[in-house]
Amino acid sequence: MGFPEIRRQPIDQLNEVKIDTQKTLKSSICCTGVGLHSGAKVSMVLKPAEVDAGITFRRTDIGGKGAVIRAHWKNVVDTRLCTVLGNAEGTTIGTVEHLMAALAGSRIDNAEIEINGPEIPVMDGSAEPFVFLIECAGVLDQGAPRRGIRILKPVKVEEGGASAALYPGQGSTIGFEIKFDGTLVGRQTISLGLVNGTFKKELSRARTFGFLHEVDQLRANGFALGGSLDNAVVVSGDKIMNEGGLRYDDEFVRHKSLDALGDLYMAGAPIIGHFEGQCSGHALTNKLLEALFADPENWCEDMVTDDFGDEAVASVSSDETVELAASA
């Protein structure tokens, strides 16, 4: 997470509030699958990590220091149809947003993800399989205070009729609106408070989606090579092509919210405030984080309370505020 400059406060000195603590996995757990866009078969291992380590990816098919990439907004190198992380050595790892959303929703602060290929496996197109893996591995309380990024001033970015914004607020909430004129999807909106358990119940099962008439063009451009009805909702005119239909009536906007949560976790810590997306995607969310950290008056660091999802946060004193943006 990158907070070495902060003076630690023993938890027993903060008994007046229930300070949430950092968490990692109890044990390693692995899975295999294919990349949504690359079509490459990959194996992935989720592993425990030390306090303040944050989320890192390690390409096991690449040797040396260049194999490691930190999950951080500054390391985002491509946002076309998915979020791709990269490092100075040119190593990349793609489609990280669903896994990042599962880690955020499961309150995993520290983890190392080993993978032997260029893209996270798409699994069923949602975050639910990753939540299942985390639950099977178990969650370990690490005892150190958990830190979040509290929004102090509204920050908004706009582009091409789309917008993404962060607003001050207690706890963590997300709102999203999508509009696909002339399609089955249409206009959908959602607003959720990310209380404990909400992510798993309301967002984790929402799958990525696409339109049948776009498939050939996507594949011609090197995208969706691993896509199928097993890992994406496909819309053809006024029909859902997947057997069994949708998991939620508004699965499309729920998945966009899932994507946004995963991309926001690239801030390096949970956001304390409200996110509002209007027809936005990976690129605009990354630009939003860039705008957020461009001005130190936009945010401060807070300790997250144990009932963070129930909208309660304990502020850290100003002398303990550090520049997260400089810690990448």
Tens-binned pLDDT, residue by residue, of the chain (328 aa): 443 333 233 444 444 568 899 999 999 999 999 999 888 999 999 999 999 999 999 999 998 888 999 999 999 999 999 999 999 999 999 999 999 999 999 999 999 999 999 999 999 999 999 999 999 999 999 999 999 999 999 999 999 999 999 999 988 999 999 999 877 999 999 999 987 689 999 999 999 999 998 988 888 888 888 889 999 999 998 899 999 999 999 999 999 999 999 999 999 999 999 999 999 999 999 999 999 999 999 999 999 976 554 332 232 322 332 333 333 3
Cα 211 to Cα 75, 184, 204, 227, 232, distances in angstroms: 30, 10, 21, 12, 10
Question: Quick one: pLDDT at residue 319?
Answer: 31
Question: Quick one: pLDDT at residue 312?
Answer: 28
Place of tokens 């144990």: 306
Q: Which distant-in-sequence residues (6+ apart) come within 8 Å of 4 by Cβ?
A: 52, 327
Rounded Cα distance between 28 and 24, Å, is 10
Place of tokens 């509002």: 276
Question: Quick one: pLDDT at residue 308?
Answer: 54
DSSP H/E element including 98: helix 97-105
Strand order in the sheet with 92-93: 76-78, 84-86, 92-93
Q: SS3 of 219, please?
A: helix
Question: Is the entire prediction scored with pTM above 0.75?
Answer: yes
Give me the amino acid identity at 14. L
Question: Quick one: pLDDT at residue 16?
Answer: 57
Question: Quick one: pLDDT at residue 133?
Answer: 98
Rounded Cα distance between 21 and 272, Å, is 15
Which residues lie across from 135 on neighbouring strands? Answer: none
The phi-psi region of residue 205 (left if phi > 0; otherwise alpha if psi is between -120 and 50; otherwise beta) is alpha
DSSP H/E element including 135: helix 128-137
Q: Which phi and psi (to 5°) does residue 88 adopt?
A: -65, -25
Place of tokens 């069923």: 124
Rounded Cα distance between 197 and 204, Å, is 10
- Residue 13 buriedness (CB in 10 A; 0-12 / 13-18 / 19+): exposed
Give me the amino acid identity at 143. G
Place of tokens 């089955």: 184
Enzyme catalytic residues: 282
Structural domains present in the chain: 21-327 (3.30.1700.10)
Do 57 and 113 meet the contact criterion of CB atoms below 8 Å apart? yes
Taking Cα atoms as reference points, which of 79, 120, 122 lies closest to residue 263? 79
Q: How many of the other CB atoms lie within 10 Å of CB of 120?
A: 25
Q: Which distant-in-sequence residues (6+ apart) come within 8 Å of 206 by Cβ?
A: 126, 127, 247, 248, 251, 252, 254, 255, 257, 258
Question: Quick one: pLDDT at residue 96?
Answer: 98
